[in-house]
Amino acid sequence: MNEPSTLGAKLPAAVRDAYDLVGFDPRGVGRSTPVSCGLRHADLAASRQRPWPAPDGGIAGNVATERRIAQTCLANGGDVLRSLSTPNEARDIDRIRAALGESKISAWGVSYGTYAGAVYATMFPQRTDRIVLDSNDDPNPGRVARGWLANTAIAVEDRFPDFAKWASAPGNPDRVVATPAGVRPAFLGLVARLDRTPLPWPGANPPELDGNVLRETLQESLYSDDDFPALAALILAGRGDRPLPAPSSPPDAALQNVTAVAVGTICDDVAWPRSVPAIARDVAADRARYPLTAGMPVNVMPCTFWPAPAEPAVRVTPHGPSNVLPAQNLRDPSTPYKGALEMRRAFGDRARMVTVDSGGHEVYLANGNACGDALVTRFLVTGKRPAHDAFCPAV
């Protein structure tokens, strides 16, 4: 489990008493021989980390940026970056298990950690005890992160109505419009205006509020209801109703590490499309179908310009002990319910799934749903899963 000093503190006493909590920096991260691509400052902008098309839907600028990022990472990242992959992370986890002298380990994987946990449980099934997969990635071995990125178009659509309801609520000091139905056209109208006429934003990266910066902020802010006020405040500032907030961003050194690890892992896990014209056609279709994400989820990535993976992606299978518990929000803005169902199907009878009628990214101990939390806690403490897939209604 990552971050035992923070996430571990949230665990019920019964869970803390039952386990030794162990976290680790994955290969290339933090103190585990950190990697960096040495990217230019502009390429570390949040709105560059995802490939948002130009206002007219063109992707020529994205192609130039992603090619430059790939070439820079390959030139500066070294052997560690080229060794990053989910199968290698699973092997590293098993080395940690062996070093601890344990015959089996349990794990709580969140987001990408669900895929890493699923790959570990597939490669080393007899060395697993209790596996909780929280906010699940689709494990399709032919797509892997390609599929996760593409699925964000669906995920944002699933989640946006929660923000729309909040942003139109009477008495909300950050109220955007008067009705939930009005939030979408208000947002789409504003990003179109900012596409045409960005607002100067000194100190930000990039130093302006354009349509793609606001789209990226929407993407990030849907992860938690706690982030709704900051998103609404930026919408209100974008239309001139209040001043722009002071810009904030993690240090460049941290962004260099996170970006390098992400690029290395997603590009080394699976081959990505190479045809730029085909990608452009996909972007145009996705842009028309899902206006909130504007074609970004199927756009070009550094992986288009990356060497072929060293080994095929792992296919998650039902072969192994019945000790896997996926937990999933219905309206997750990053790893949608659609993908979680694929994770559940891949594991077959190895898994039972807990679905929670909630929005946001992260399930266990994250949204106050006592039903979902109790089912996961019982599994961790006793090993008992629900007899069948379980559904927990909204609180």
The pLDDT, as a whole number, for residue 5 is 74
Instruction: Please state, in angstroms and as integers, the Cα–Cα distance from residue 306 to each residue in 63, 98, 264, 283, following that order.
Output: 13, 33, 9, 20
d(CA 304, CA 373): 40
- Cα angle at 325 between 319 and 329, to 5 degrees? 130
Share of the chain above pLDDT 70, in %: 99
Amino acid at 366: A
Mean pLDDT over the full length of the chain = 97
Are 295 and 155 in contact, with CB atoms under 8 Å apart?
Answer: no
Which domain CATH number covers 335?
A: 3.40.50
Amino acid at 175: R
Of 139, 145, 129, nearest in space to 22 by CA: 129
pLDDT tops 50 at residue 213: yes
Q: Would residue 63 count as lying in a domain?
A: yes
Q: Would residue 18 count as lying in a domain?
A: yes
pLDDT tops 80 at residue 87: yes
The string of pLDDT tens digits covering residues 21-63 is: 999 999 999 999 999 999 999 999 999 989 999 999 999 999 9
Per-position DSSP letters for 347-391, written without gaps between them = HGGGB--EEEEEESS--TTTS--HHHHHHHHHHHHH-PPPSS-EE
Q: Would residue 209 count as lying in a domain?
A: no
Rounded to a whole number of angstroms, the distance between the first and last alpha carbons of the chain is: 27
Q: Would residue 254 count as lying in a domain?
A: yes
pLDDT tops 80 at residue 283: yes
Domain assignment of residue 361, given as a range:
1-157+250-279+299-395
Contacts of 64 (CB under 8 A, 6+ apart): none
Q: How sure is the predictor about 4, in pLDDT bands with cuts at 50, 70 and 90?
A: confident
Instruction: Calculate mean pLDDT across residues 339-358.
Output: 98
pLDDT tops 50 at residue 1: no
pLDDT tops 90 at residue 8: no
Residue with tokens 């080994």: 311
d(CA 323, CA 309): 30
pLDDT tops 70 at residue 340: yes
d(CA 381, CA 378): 5
The pLDDT, as a whole number, for residue 9 is 85
Instruction: Calculate mean pLDDT across residues 292-321.
Output: 98
Q: What would the two tokens of residue 119 be?
A: 């790959």
Q: Would residue 76 count as lying in a domain?
A: yes
The pLDDT, as a whole number, for residue 96 is 97
Instruction: Calculate mean pLDDT across residues 121-149.
Output: 98
Of 161, 155, 148, nearest in space to 332 by CA: 155
Q: What is the CA radius of gyration of the chain?
A: 21
The string of pLDDT tens digits covering residues 160-206 is: 999 999 999 999 999 999 999 999 999 999 999 999 999 999 999 99
Q: What would the two tokens of residue 393 be?
A: 């209604």
262, 266, 22, 371 alpha-carbon torsion, rounded to 10°: 100
pLDDT tops 60 at residue 156: yes
Contacts of 155 (CB under 8 A, 6+ apart): 332, 333, 334, 335, 336
The pLDDT, as a whole number, for residue 115 is 98
Q: How sure is the predictor about 344, in pLDDT bands with cuts at 50, 70 and 90?
A: very high
Contacts of 371 (CB under 8 A, 6+ apart): 356, 390, 392, 393
Q: Would residue 331 count as lying in a domain?
A: yes
- Structurally, the chain folds into a number of domains equal to 1
Q: How sure is the predictor about 207, in pLDDT bands with cuts at 50, 70 and 90?
A: very high
Q: Would residue 335 count as lying in a domain?
A: yes
Q: Would residue 90 count as lying in a domain?
A: yes
The pLDDT, as a whole number, for residue 6 is 80
Burial class (CB in 10 A: 0-12, 13-18, 19+), 131: buried
d(CA 12, CA 209): 42
Q: Which residues of 96-118 are buried (b: 16+ CB within 10 A; e: fewer)?
A: ebeeeeeeebbbbbbbbbbbbbb
